[in-house]
Structure 1
Amino acid sequence: MNATGQSAVFGRRKEPHTVIIARGNEIRHFTIRPWLAAFIGSAFAAIAIGYLLATSYLVLRDDLIGATTARQARMQQAYEDRISALRAQVDRITSRQLLDQQLMENKVSELIERQTQLSQRHGRLGPLLERAENEVGAAPAEDPAAAAKPDKHAEVTGSISQPAQNYAVASLGADLGAADTRPFSLWSTRTDPLPSDTAADRADKLFVSINQSLKSIENEQLTRIRTLADNAYKSADAIQQALQAAGLPVDSDFGKNESDVGGPLIPLDSSMIFDSKVKELDEALDTLDQLKKEARQLPLANPAPGHSVTSPFGVRTDPILGTAALHSGMDFRAPIGMAAKVTAPGIVTKAGWNGGYGRMVEVDHGNGFATRYGHLSEIDVTVGEKLDAGATIGKTGSSGRSTGPHLHYEVRHNGEAIDPLRFLAVGKKVAQYL
């Protein structure tokens, strides 16, 4: 079959659309394709819709313009209200920052003044503490406060360092001057203040922390001074009691009755309290120093430490005659050639052979006290020589009236022999304070 000029769709033949135009004897026909018909229809539809939309816009334009104008007016009014509120808030915050800045400057000035005061106190305390540590030494074991503070200078010389102070001031300035960098909307309903309130709180907390630190340093200074003064008085009291118990003279005015006092009550500020504590410590150290000087002048040391006593002071059986006799000193077992040392500072008044003493050295310690060292095998000092405590005066032996090598040691007061055991017992008690 011939399919020319025809199109088959799914096996069926379909004739194209044909438009025939007749005019008189003339007949014309046009063939219209389906896609062309669809295109022409779509164009007509688009034109119709556009015409309708343009007509509707022209009809409703006035209403749309009026609504838009009203909306813009409302937005502008809200914007101006928000701007006014923000300006008022900025003014309020600026005033607050100015007040906070003045307060900060006042507090920083106060902190610097207190630190300067602490530094001045440290300058005063340095020599005094060094003297106290040399005089008093370690605190007694029963003092828990002293045992809890092994560092003798950390609690009294501490202060806020200059870099730390600069950091604190810079931090405060940054906190008080920092602006809120977080984005916000003009239409936000947030009414809370800017973060300067938080910065002010942080500044207050920092000031409180620094104040507490400075206060702690001041309290530790006063505590340390009070502890050293108490220890000085305890040491002086122990030395005095030991000397008095042994019947030894004490010339110090320590322990005078000061209960008969009076006067009006005048409150003290911190500087006056500090000055009074420093004065009290200085007086305690003077008292202790005086008692130490007096004690060091007395023959309290052991002339032969570590060696046993073979014959004490007092009545005994004479080793040569076998009869009762007075022994005016103490004999210490000592080998020949052991160094004999003086028990207190003094001046040599005798150095040579002295009857039953054999080779003997006598040392005057002042205040009527003197010591003798007998039966020496060698004498290494001369009359008039000044000796320090512990100086070697010679070597032990068995010269004179002796049955064997030993050291004969005597203590005399105004020429009268005294039991040396009293001095040795006192020496053991006060050795830790001297």
Structure 2
Amino acid sequence: MDANGQSAVFGRRKEPHTVIIARGDEIRHFTVRPWMMAFVGSAIAAVFIGYLLATSYLVFRDDLIGATTARQARMQQAYEDRISALRAQVDRITSRQLLDQQLMETKVGELLARQSQLSQRHGRLGPILERAEAIEPEINTTPPDVAPADRTKPEDHATFVGEKSMPQLAALVSLGDSHPPAFSGWSTRADLPADASAADRADKLFAAINQSLQDIETEQLQRLTRLADTTYENADAIKEALQAAGLPVDSDFGKDESDVGGPLVPVDRATLFDTKVKELDEALDQLDHLRKEARRLPLANPAPGRSVTSPFGVRTDPLLGTAALHSGMDFRIPLGSPARATAAGVITKAGWNGGYGRMVEINHGRGYTTRYAHLSKVGVAIGQTVKMGDVIGQTGSSGRSTGPHLHYEVRHDGEAIDPLRFLRIGRKVEKYL
């Protein structure tokens, strides 16, 4: 059996591989063992597997990094979109606030203009109301048939001229600072819930103040109308009383509504206010004129509260006992009592005048004169101007008289007129004079 061979029983033995390297005369050889082959193969396999793992890791890492980057990009985009939406919303809110502020400033300007107009109207109403009160204090009172709610009370004067609206307007002006707490006190007044916005409260407050100013304007117009109507009624009462007695009255004055007409032309409140002021002014002019005309007539009683002992007309003469014309009225009055003028005028006679005794004669103009006879003392001089109610002397029994009394005459163009007619008219128009 060969020494290098294998037995038939145990099989053929594999010989290890021998690697021979020849380099010139030098020859080298080494034997490659199986475990060395296995080690080299394992090392190569390990390197290959490591390479594959490294490559896979790098590939997957790039994918993970890309996914993370994409996710971050999407999140950033979402944040940017949200920021843009919020910015747009802020811009809209800011624009709305600016618009609301501009609207509020415009409304405040309108209200302040109306307030200024009411103040100007009050400046015009002041003198004419003072004039109405000076001419007739009761003109400023509301007629009895007017409902109490329509009456203008003294404490409501500020409301009548719009002065109570100024604090509210000042509160509205503060809106320009965009401070909602400025309206916290108006929630109940504006009938809004506590969580209502400042704009809603402001709109409600604007409406309330606007309505208040409109009510003030309406009250002004109503009061002017009432004053004008009352003034015309007083003037008509004086005029009708004078005309009924046949006394002269200027026909140029009067409110004649019998013949009217023309196209219908609507007017605004400003024009209507001017018209009402002019109407009241004309009514006061008419009443003033009629009062002056009436005051020039001898309508007052020369001896108020005294009884008449002898009226005007034919009577039995107290001294002769025959029928005679009594040209005046005799008033029983104690000796030394004051004799007063029944109208304004100029003294034309003052002294002894025959059967009149001591007498004073007053010329009232337009042909009317009055005489005061049987005086005990004359207290005026010829040419002196007197007013209604001035004392012109003292009563007595001078001249053709049977006892202390006042003989009173009214004459027109020298002709005696029954003084009773004037006294009756005087009682009717006394409250208007």
TM range (shorter): 0.7 to 0.9
1:103-144 deviation digits (Å, cap 9, x = unpaired):
111101111111111111111111111111222321364342
Q: Distance in 2 between matches of 1:155 and 1:328?
A: 59
Q: Which residue does the alignment assign to 1:234?
A: 233
In 1, are the aligned partners of 2:115 and 2:162 still within 8 Å (CA)? no
In 2, are the aligned partners of 1:301 and 1:343 still within 8 Å (CA)? yes
| Offset, 1:83 | 4.8
Q: Distance in 2 between matches of 1:356 and 1:305?
A: 25
Q: Distance in 2 between matches of 1:408 and 1:140?
A: 42
In 2, are the aligned partners of 1:308 and 1:333 still within 8 Å (CA)? yes
In 1, are the aligned partners of 2:350 and 2:361 still within 8 Å (CA)? yes
Instruction: Please give the residue correspondences for 1:378-389 in structure 2 after superposition, counting only pairs within 5 Å.
Output: 378-389=377-388
1:353 aligns with 2:352: yes
Going from structure 1 to structure 2, the CA distance change for 1:154 and 1:136 (only over 3 Å counts) comes to farther
Q: Which residue does the alignment assign to 2:110?
A: 110
- Please tell me the residue identity of whatever aligns with 2:228: A
1:157 aligns with 2:178: no
1:91 aligns with 2:91: yes
1:178-237 deviation digits (Å, cap 9, x = unpaired):
9xxxxxxxxxxxxxxxx9972111110111111111111111111111111111101100
Q: Which runs of 5+ in 1 are unaligned?
A: 1-68, 179-194
| Offset, 1:256 | 6.0
Equivalent position SS for 1:404? coil
Q: Which residue does the alignment assign to 1:144?
A: 146
Q: What is the number of residues matched between the two proteins? A: 352
| Offset, 1:89 | 3.0
Instruction: Please give the residue correspondences for 1:291-330 in structure 2 after superposition, counting only pairs within 5 Å.
Output: 291-330=290-329
Q: Distance in 2 between matches of 1:346 and 1:200?
A: 70
Going from structure 1 to structure 2, the CA distance change for 1:215 and 1:199 (only over 3 Å counts) comes to same
| Offset, 1:345 | 0.6
In 1, are the aligned partners of 2:105 and 2:176 still within 8 Å (CA)? no
Going from structure 1 to structure 2, the CA distance change for 1:348 and 1:272 (only over 3 Å counts) comes to same
Instruction: Please give the residue correspondences for 1:43-62 in structure 2 after superposition, counting only pairs within 5 Å.
Output: none
Going from structure 1 to structure 2, the CA distance change for 1:176 and 1:153 (only over 3 Å counts) comes to closer
1:215-262 deviation digits (Å, cap 9, x = unpaired):
111111111111111111011000001111111110142336454344
| Offset, 1:268 | 0.9
Q: Distance in 2 between matches of 1:164 and 1:217?
A: 15
| Offset, 1:369 | 0.5
In 2, are the aligned partners of 1:374 and 1:409 still within 8 Å (CA)? yes
In 1, are the aligned partners of 2:158 and 2:164 still within 8 Å (CA)? no
Equivalent position SS for 1:373? strand
Going from structure 1 to structure 2, the CA distance change for 1:391 and 1:225 (only over 3 Å counts) comes to same
Q: Which residue does the alignment assign to 1:22?
A: none
Q: Which residue does the alignment assign to 1:166?
A: 170
Q: Which residue does the alignment assign to 1:9?
A: none
Instruction: Please give the residue correspondences for 1:341-380 in structure 2 after superposition, counting only pairs within 5 Å.
Output: 341-380=340-379
Q: TM-score, normalised to structure 1's length?
A: 0.74
Instruction: Please give the residue correspondences for 1:30-429 in structure 2 after superposition, counting only pairs within 5 Å.
Output: 83=83, 85-138=85-138, 139=141, 141-144=143-146, 148-151=151-154, 153-154=157-158, 156-160=160-164, 162-171=166-175, 173-175=177-179, 198-255=197-254, 257-429=256-428
Q: Distance in 2 between matches of 1:150 and 1:204?
A: 30
Q: Which runs of 5+ in 2 are unaligned?
A: 1-67, 183-193
Going from structure 1 to structure 2, the CA distance change for 1:258 and 1:234 (only over 3 Å counts) comes to closer
In 2, are the aligned partners of 1:93 and 1:196 still within 8 Å (CA)? no
- Please tell me the residue identity of whatever aligns with 2:206: F
In 2, are the aligned partners of 1:335 and 1:396 still within 8 Å (CA)? yes
In 1, are the aligned partners of 2:242 and 2:248 still within 8 Å (CA)? yes
In 2, are the aligned partners of 1:236 and 1:288 still within 8 Å (CA)? yes
Q: Which residue does the alignment assign to 1:24?
A: none
Equivalent position SS for 2:431? coil
| Offset, 1:286 | 0.7
Equivalent position SS for 1:144? coil
Equivalent position SS for 2:211? helix
Equivalent position SS for 2:331? strand
Q: Distance in 1 between matches of 2:359 and 2:142?
A: 41
- Please tell me the residue identity of whatever aligns with 1:309: V
Equivalent position SS for 1:431? helix
In 2, are the aligned partners of 1:373 and 1:408 still within 8 Å (CA)? yes
Q: Distance in 1 between matches of 2:171 and 2:333?
A: 69
In 1, are the aligned partners of 2:346 and 2:383 still within 8 Å (CA)? yes
Q: Distance in 2 between matches of 1:93 and 1:177?
A: 19
- Please tell me the residue identity of whatever aligns with 1:337: G
